[in-house]
Amino acid sequence: MFDNLSDRISKTLKGLRGQGRLTEADIDKTVREIRRALLDADVAVPVVRQFASRVRERALGAEVSKALNPAQQVVKIVHAELVEILGGATGQLQFAKNPPTVIMLAGLQGAGKTTLAGKLAKHLKEEGHTPLLVASDLQRPNAVNQLQIVGERAGVKVFAPEPGNGVGDPVVVALDGVATAAREQYDVVIVDTAGRLGVDEEMMQQARDIRDAVEPHNILFVVDAMIGQDAARVAEAFRDGVGFTGVVLSKLDGDARGGAALSVTGITDRPILFASTGEALGDFERFHPDRMASRILDMGDVLTLIEQAEKRMDREEAEKVASKLAQGEEFNLNDFMSMLQQIKSMGSMKKMLGMMPNMRQYKQAIDQFDDSMITRIEAMVQSMTPFERANPKEINGSRRARIAKGSGTTVTEVNRLLDQFKQMQKMMGSVGRGMAGGGAMGAPG
């Protein structure tokens, strides 16, 4: 996400450090480099122009010349201005006083609307809502089916036209969907609509017809971050053609240069509410301009990391292991397996590492990190008998060979796993003893 842009801006700003005073020439050079980096990342020209002139103006002003550490002050200004172009405060969905709240999705075909519908429904469900998905994309042959699959995965009901009724009317489906939600006490309705490969008048008319029929409280414009410079133009077309209340950036996980993220709000004056970062239902996050700016400047996004860990961790499972250790029981391979599953449920290790501060310098190592390693370890542990898992010390040579064969790995890998596990067991043992002995983490007093 924003890799190249982030590399260049953070490098430029790091170059300023260590300078006691900053001359006008230093500042001009910095602004010029950032400006070039933004343009290369496909950020729309008017947005770049305004950003550069604001950073320059502020950097030449008193807040920098009087600062104890002028370079740090410039970083602060760049951060603040990035937050501004990303929309300032975190945007919110509007919820209706009288449910159901209606959310309509709009965007080009392939933008990621249907996928997003499932992600959003899952997210709302986790927040305590009871969403209903409505399949009003009757253009794309497989769209209804795809929404049904996504809904099933998210555990959310899908309202769709009866199959075999010929090509239905998307406006009627949308209206029926909202009426069904009201009758059956769903409090949020998400209406998926059709897109085309390019902007065209017929599509806009259909979107307007659906809009006028269901009067949505939110219209979310879904835009593929990978379409680069085009994002600004498509956003303008949708703003003028249908209008929208908020933006969702999809495919931010790709090699996107990030221009869409940094242009759409500046051009349309609508906040980015969510970001989609992969094909799985969990690859979804609220969009926080300040946190995103920190990520771009390689300052990390620890808040999002913690939130995701909290949401996806199985607290009960974690506490079980902790209390076992506290009672002085030995950490065994079953506990290890349960830990691995927790890590896996948090999603990609690579993505998590990317959210830590100052990680850009380790980029190569992170890129080489292989998420499938966890799967291999899991396979090895699964190939062990319950006795072996509880008594790793008893795993001798012939058992190792059997485990390697059963898990499709090699004896070397099994050896490595057991060695690493031994180290870990030692570490866990001392944590456990500390807890059991009423040390720092034990009973008060």
The contact set with ligand GDP (CB under 6 A) reads: 107, 109-115, 195, 250-251, 253-254, 276-279, 283
Do the annotations mark residue 404 as ligand-binding? no
Do the annotations mark residue 375 as ligand-binding? no
308 or 332, CB closer to ligand GDP? Answer: 308
30 or 115, CB closer to ligand GDP? Answer: 115
Do 239 and 256 touch, CB atoms closer than 8 A?
Answer: no
Q: Which of 343, 306, 304 is nearest to 321 (CA)?
A: 343
The CB-of-277 to ligand GDP minimum distance in angstroms stands at 6
Do 27 and 59 touch, CB atoms closer than 8 A?
Answer: yes
59 or 256, CB closer to ligand GDP? Answer: 256
The CB-of-40 to ligand GDP minimum distance in angstroms stands at 22
Residue 207 and residue 189: Cα distance in Å, rounded?
16
102 or 275, CB closer to ligand GDP? Answer: 275
User: Under 8 Å CB-to-CB from 384, ≥6 apart: which residues?
Assistant: 333, 395, 403
31 or 108, CB closer to ligand GDP? Answer: 108
Helix (H) or strand (E) holding 149: helix 143-154
Task: Give the 3-state secondary structure of residue 116.
Answer: helix
Write the Ramachandran bin of 103: left for phi over 0, alpha for psi from -120 to 50, otherwise beta.
beta
Task: Give the 3-state secondary structure of residue 197.
Answer: coil
Do the annotations mark residue 206 as ligand-binding? no
The CB-of-276 to ligand GDP minimum distance in angstroms stands at 3
Any long-range contacts for 323-328 (C-beta under 8 Å, 24+ apart)? 324/432, 325/428, 325/431, 325/432, 325/435, 325/436, 326/432, 326/435, 326/436, 327/432, 327/436, 328/432, 328/433, 328/436
Do the annotations mark residue 409 as ligand-binding? no
Do the annotations mark residue 253 as ligand-binding? yes
The CB-of-139 to ligand GDP minimum distance in angstroms stands at 9
73 or 114, CB closer to ligand GDP? Answer: 114
- For 18-130, strand residue ranges (E) read 101-106
Do the annotations mark residue 438 as ligand-binding? no
The CB-of-26 to ligand GDP minimum distance in angstroms stands at 39
Do the annotations mark residue 422 as ligand-binding? no
Q: Are strands 284-286 and 272-276 parallel, antiparallel or unpaired?
A: antiparallel
253 or 298, CB closer to ligand GDP? Answer: 253
196 or 363, CB closer to ligand GDP? Answer: 196
Give the torsion sign (CA, 332, 337, 342, 347).
positive
Residue 109 and residue 227: Cα distance in Å, rounded?
12
The CB-of-251 to ligand GDP minimum distance in angstroms stands at 4
The CB-of-222 to ligand GDP minimum distance in angstroms stands at 6
Do the annotations mark residue 107 as ligand-binding? yes
The CB-of-361 to ligand GDP minimum distance in angstroms stands at 26
Do the annotations mark residue 278 as ligand-binding? no
Do the annotations mark residue 113 as ligand-binding? yes
Do the annotations mark residue 393 as ligand-binding? no
The CB-of-408 to ligand GDP minimum distance in angstroms stands at 28
- Supply the DSSP string of 169-192, one letter for each residue: -HHHHHHHHHHHHHHTT-SEEEEE
Between vectors from CA 33 to CA 29 and to CA 37, what angle results, nearest 5°?
170
Do 227 and 196 touch, CB atoms closer than 8 A?
Answer: no
35 or 122, CB closer to ligand GDP? Answer: 122
Annotated binding site for GTP: 107-114, 192-196, 250-253
Annotated binding site: 107-114, 192-196, 250-253
